[in-house]
Amino acid sequence: AFSFARVCLCTHRPSLTSMAPNVDGVFSGKRMPMTDSASVCAGSYADAVQSLKTKLRGALVSAGLASEEKFEVAVFGHGGRDTNLWLAIVEAVATDNELRDKVKVSVFSCSWVDDDWEWVMKYYVERLMADGTVAEGSISFTTMKYHEEVSVTMGRVMGHFYKAHCVVQCEQGVDMFVEPVTGEWLQDNYEDFAVNNACMAFAERSGVPSFLVQTNSDLDLSRGVDGDDVSENVFAGQLQSGAFSIKVEWAQSDCLPEAPPGTLIALAIKLGACPDKRQGFQQLLNFKVEEFASLPNLYAAYIAFSGLQTNALVPVAGALEVIVALVGQGHSLP
């Protein structure tokens, strides 16, 4: 699992014969683990990127490909904010000599019909390729909208598994890990469930690894999801929460037009909802979004880049990662 300031990367657990529970286990009344507990990496963005490098190197060797064949990674977002997490995989590949020229990462966004954030991500991808941050032909971004009959959508999802040697899902929050009946009229819950099922079925059928990158558990824990249950069955007891409860003090609050936020979550929300992103980043973080490339990782840089291109909502997890990145650089915050 991977969190921005709170990140988690882990390996999903297809029910392969060697891992299949016995009859007593199936009818014990206890939930089966959804992940390989030994694979869980709960920590910072940098921790997740490093863990991804290790896991992808191992998967690349196990695939036994010909020297000229690319190792194909198919990444599925569970919505706009979730899809942003694919940048951790891009960064892992782009900054590793063993992976950079041998791996191609293809992401397929999953979002509402009226979402219009995809063009910003496409533009960012073009810049990463143009300036050599990523190897030529090593990444691709495909927009997917959920707006048709379920069979049509799932047919498109299955079509994107073509030639995949590895499957990765991206999840912000933890609603992916609850049964869709808990929100039977929530399209988001159903899509998470359906796409996860398709990814896991393909991984089991094809014998390829299936990874999960996740952040911001607090998003859904605050809505009533059972944190203890999710922690035990998904995160091997390492579910991270409370990242946003940190208190914030202001040395230069006079630069703000109103009372400054008192907690990290309040600051992240205020930055995310600011109607003028350039002004918001400047006032709240003393940072010019034009300098997005100065941030130390691709995710934080993308969040600032999006603020340069549009005034659309910024996810709180993204705002948090920008703040953490600036603190790590010794940036002078207000």
According to the 3-state scheme, what is the secondary structure of the chain?
CCCCCCEEEEEECCCCHHHCCCHHHHCCCCCCCCEEEEEEEEECHHHHHHHHHHHHHHHHHHHCCCCCCCEEEEEEECCHHHHCCHHHHHHHHHCCCCCCCCEEEEEECCECCCCCCHHHHHHHHHHHHHCCCCCCCCEEEECCECCCCHHHHHHHHHHCCCCCCEEEEEEECCHHHCCHHHHCCCHHHHHHHHHHHHHHHHHHHHCCCEEEEEECCHHHHCCCCCHHHHHHHCCCCCCCCCHHHCECCCCCHHHCCCCCCCEHHHHHHHHHHCCCHHHHHHHHHCCCHHHHHHCCCHHHHHHHHHHHHCCCCCCHHHHHHHHHHHHHCCCCCC
pLDDT exceeds cutoff 90 at 57 = yes
Residues with Cβ < 8 Å from 90, sequence gap 6 or more? Answer: 105, 128, 134, 139, 298
pLDDT per position as a tens digit, 154-194: 888 888 888 899 999 988 877 766 666 555 445 566 777 78
Lowest mean pLDDT among 62-71, 96-105, 173-182, 212-221: 173-182
Task: Give the residue from 84, 17, 132, 153 showing the smallest Cα distance to 298.
Answer: 84
User: 74: closest CA among 200, 177, 189?
Assistant: 200
The string of pLDDT tens digits covering residues 241-280 is 777 778 888 887 676 767 788 888 889 889 988 999 999 9
> pLDDT above 90 covers what percent of the chain?
37
Tell me, what's the pLDDT at 9? 59
Q: What phi and psi values does residue 5 have, to the nearest 5 degrees?
A: 70, -20
The residues, ordered by sequence, that sit 6+ positions from 115 with a Cβ below 8 Å of its Cβ are 80, 145
Look at 8 and 117; give whichever has higher pLDDT.
117
Q: Are 275 and 311 in contact (CB under 8 A)?
A: yes
pLDDT at 24: 62
The 10s digit of each residue's pLDDT in 110-131 is 777 777 888 999 999 999 999 9
Of the candidates 19, 88, 86, 99, the one whose C-alpha atom is nearest the C-alpha of residue 59 is 99
Q: What is the pTM of this model?
A: 0.84
Banded model confidence at residue 223, pLDDT cuts 50, 70, 90? low
